[in-house]
Structure 1
Amino acid sequence: MEFLMKTSRLIVTSKTFARRVAVPIPRVQMTMFYASRRYSHSLFIFSIILRKILYKKPNALMGSFNSAPKINNMDSQDDGLELPKGLSTDALLDHVHQLRGNGIDRPSLLTRSFLKPALISEDVTDGLRCLKLNAVSRVCSPPLENEGTQNIRLLQWNILSQTLGQHNDGFVRCPEEALTWQHRKYLIVQEILQNQPDVVCLQEVDHFKFLETVLGSQNYAGIFFPKPDSPCLYIEQNNGPDGCAIFYKRDKLQLLCYDTRILEVWRVQSNQVAIAARLQLKATGKEFCVCTTHLKARHGALLAKLRNEQGRDLIRFVKQFAGESPLLMCGDFNAEPIEPIYATILSCDILKLGSAYADMKLEREREKERCEDVNELISESIKREPPYTTWKIREDGEECHTIDYVFYTPQQLKIKNCLEFPAGDQIGKNRTPCFQYPSDHFSLVCDFELLDEPKSEATIQ
């Protein structure tokens, strides 16, 4: 008891002494303290608003799904898929063509050609190899078949999410049957396999299991990374979340490692993702990196700013992953060449990227010297981009613009060829998607050669 009383007196004395010797906090510091609290509160409110914008569906008419309950379905709609074993690519394409059905309402997939015809080649032997056509690639330029070369064919494509395309994207001129998964899935397979890519980069993938099964039968392996809050999950009868995917040909390439990223805007996680993979050519041991992404959609200055910030975060992620390795960075950037993100990517000193389609056209025009001035280089690149990579008609009108790209490191990779886009009369007045094409985006297909030694800037074409 005596001990408790002494302790109590000691505490009181200590408090009294503390009050006497305490240094009063100046009013300025107190003001800064409360200002800091208000600033933190403002940042918190700003982050909430930012996340609302970042997670909002692309079409403003659809509003936000955040207030609706999630429907957490799994990727199970293709569980019953069975394929005959041991099919060659030709036989598989014949098989899926039969599954798709025949008739007047089943027109053939849009045919396309390469920008640089196969027979016009600096290397005559390349042209001779390209004469080895088969039923799969008769309308395209087949990849070089020499195992000793260091050639890579990359296919980049937003395949259109089945859940969003059929239920929410508002393709008012597309027949309902043409939007069904039963119809679209076989055209998607045909578009990919007839081009015989070594690497396939896809966006809006919500049937990964189907692609993994079908492409796996042709010796492809895949990586999938879903959006953290995919809008598909707020729609009934969804097949799981949509996201990005990378497939690679296992007989030619070995996966060394890969990484994924939820892109950030001002340190706030968005609903957009990226995948990066390090691959090695088995024949030569040469390594390179591939990255694919799908940036925020919708128009407007604010959204363009958000995309640019996502692009900056993407650059940081890719640079950390790829280091000094040759790099292919592609995807649906949802930005026309005049948007800030395009200049941000091409003017980035740490990556030194070029745009494959623009540079291929530059080479075709026989202009051998690239501009040294960054602003002039970007301006010239903008002029040479394709007139469109997506062409569709929605409830609010017709959209025809370039928003998909394949960027690469010209010092380490040489662009050899690009697949051209179909003309308007080929596509038809109802545009895409349609019976002849399964997505509202066209695939981008590029041939690259891995260079033995980095090219000097003076020799980059």
Structure 2
Amino acid sequence: MDSNVNITDDEDDIMPNLNLEHIKASLEIAESLAKASLMTSPAAKRRLQARKMELGLVDDSAGYIPPKHLLLYLVRMGSFNSAPKIMNEDTQDNDLDLPEDLSKDELLVYCRKELEDTPALVPRKFKTLQNCEAPSIYDKEVSQPQLKLRILQWNLLSQALGQNNDNFVCCPDGALDWRRRKHQMAEEIIKYDPDVICLQEVDHFHYLKRILATQGFQGTFFPKPDSPCMYIKGNNGPDGCAIFYRQDKYELLKTETRVLEVWRVQSNQVAVLVILRDKTSNQEICVATTHLKARNGALLSTLRNEQGKDLLEFVNTHSDGRPVILSGDFNAEPIEPIYNTVLSHDLLKLRSAYCNNAGEPPYTTWKVREEGEVKHTIDYIFFSQNNFKVDSILEFPTGEEIGEGRIPSFSYPSDHFSLVCDLSLIETSNS
């Protein structure tokens, strides 16, 4: 990054041309204030108010809000650099030659043939859940389920970022080759036979659209407004979020997209939402997916929480009382504020599909980068607990099954594992 921050002309009146030292100093102050604002003790709150007064900041009982110039830097972090933007289009898979109609088995055979020198994907199995693992709905008189669906949630790992920016020190270069990865991605998705697919870090949408069309899927894609992929030579266009659904099972009634905001400032993260009507039961459901801001620290945790609030308002507005499924890479562990913000929404009443009496699973991503090994839970499938029950979930592989190099690897194409669950829509006597 240059010593001067590159900004667009329309931001000149808001964001001063700060150098790196000014930014670092501002970030240190902001991080300490954000950390203090997350504390709940009266003494901590008094110290925070005193520090705000010392810095000449307006007191806000809702917590610390970064100044506008710093907020603009934070929401665009990663694209403020000296590299030119390379406006490529999604054309790298135009040579894909596939019949329009393939059975599931035929497509899996095709993928495995293209991967003949590659190990099988990491083994995983489904776990059937007992009623006690979803207690919120069982205090009501429940009728027979009216709709069943399998949803797959997955951060694919952007090809441009994975191959150039993510520093997976234990991953062989060949495992990140798109000619190999794309077939592993298709295999991982297709073999679990989902009805609805929610994806993040999609920068090869046309490939997915074409290969999933052979299985009867239709999809929609929404790119990040300033994707970091666009600053990488040889990119295939911006990354973003996508939702696919089976056309023989669902009718698309509505599609909505949003660039998420934080304190009324547009960020670089997006959300996609669809309203689907089940053709058998005529039941309408709302499915949404997102990918929140990454990086550690109290300041970024606070920013993610604000993105989450905007996301929930967006979902609540367009779901309009319909049952909701909200999935994505939230880049936040269960101890972060955004997790509780999602679960405590008064109207949506969401629950995490993978959370049981022992809590969330120990990891949804497990990778090794230059700074060390990273193993944590940041991906989720949330659902309306008054409308759905979870029948089964796809379990995560053990460390031994994953291997010492973790993921991505020749046995798994992303640094995130897919989440797959079977949901049943329920009707209750007081619904």
Q: Shorter-chain TM-score: what band?
A: 0.7 to 0.9
User: Which whole-Å CA distance do the structure 1 matches of 2:290 and 2:361 have between them?
Assistant: 20
- Deviation for aligned residue 1:48: 3.0
Paired residue for 2:124?
Answer: 112
Q: 1:411 touches 1:454 (CA, 8 Å); kept in 2? A: no
Structure 1 segments, 4+ long, off by >3 Å, are 64-67, 453-456
Specify which of 110, 124, 145 is matched with residue 95 of structure 1.
110
Corresponding letter in the other structure for 1:301: A
- Deviation for aligned residue 1:350: 1.9
Paired residue for 1:388?
Answer: 363
Does residue 70 (structure 1) correspond to residue 91 (structure 2)? The answer is: no
Unaligned runs of 5+ in 2: 1-55, 59-65, 133-144
Specify which of 383, 388, 391 is matched with residue 413 of structure 1.
388
Larger RCO, structure (CA 8 Å, separation 6 or more): 2
Percent identity (aligned) = 55
Corresponding letter in the other structure for 1:437: Y
C-alpha spacing 1:390/1:39, structure 2 compared with 1 (3 Å): closer
Unaligned runs of 5+ in 1: 1-37, 58-63, 123-147, 363-382, 457-461
Number of residue pairs matched by the alignment:
358
C-alpha spacing 1:217/1:424, structure 2 compared with 1 (3 Å): same
Paired residue for 2:255?
Answer: 258
Q: 1:411 touches 1:455 (CA, 8 Å); kept in 2? A: no
Secondary structure of the residue that 2:197 maps to in structure 1? strand
Paired residue for 1:337?
Answer: 334
- Deviation for aligned residue 1:223: 0.4
Larger Rg: 1
The correspondence of residues 183-202 of structure 1 with structure 2, limited to 5 A, is: 183-202=180-199
Corresponding letter in the other structure for 1:76: T
- Deviation for aligned residue 1:99: 1.6
- Deviation for aligned residue 1:454: 7.1
- Deviation for aligned residue 1:149: 5.0
User: Which whole-Å CA distance do the structure 1 matches of 2:201 and 2:243 have between them?
Assistant: 12
Does residue 273 (structure 1) correspond to residue 270 (structure 2)? The answer is: yes
User: Which whole-Å CA distance do the structure 2 matches of 1:386 and 1:91 have between them?
Assistant: 33
Over residues 67-110 of structure 1, what are the superposed CA-to-partner deviations in whole Å (9 max), with x where a residue is unaligned? Answer: 3210000000001110134321100110121122x23xx11011
TM-score, normalised with respect to structure 1: 0.75
Q: 1:412 touches 1:455 (CA, 8 Å); kept in 2? A: no
RMSD: 2.1
Specify which of 418, 424, 433 is matched with residue 399 of structure 2.
424
User: Which whole-Å CA distance do the structure 1 matches of 2:81 and 2:149 have between them?
Assistant: 41
Q: 1:159 touches 1:205 (CA, 8 Å); kept in 2? A: yes
TM-score, normalised with respect to structure 2: 0.80
- Deviation for aligned residue 1:292: 0.1
Q: 2:146 touches 2:427 (CA, 8 Å); kept in 1? A: no
Corresponding letter in the other structure for 1:54: V
Instruction: Looking at secondary structure, tell me which structure has more helix per residue.
Output: 1
Does residue 54 (structure 1) correspond to residue 66 (structure 2)? The answer is: no
- Deviation for aligned residue 1:121: 10
The correspondence of residues 27-426 of structure 1 with structure 2, limited to 5 A, is: 46-57=67-78, 64-100=79-115, 102-103=116-117, 106-116=118-128, 150-358=147-355, 361-362=356-357, 383-426=358-401
Paired residue for 1:8?
Answer: none
Secondary structure of the residue that 1:357 maps to in structure 2? coil
Over residues 188-220 of structure 1, what are the superposed CA-to-partner deviations in whole Å (9 max), with x where a residue is unaligned? Answer: 001100011000000000000000000011100
Over residues 258-277 of structure 1, what are the superposed CA-to-partner deviations in whole Å (9 max), with x where a residue is unaligned? Answer: 10000000000000000111
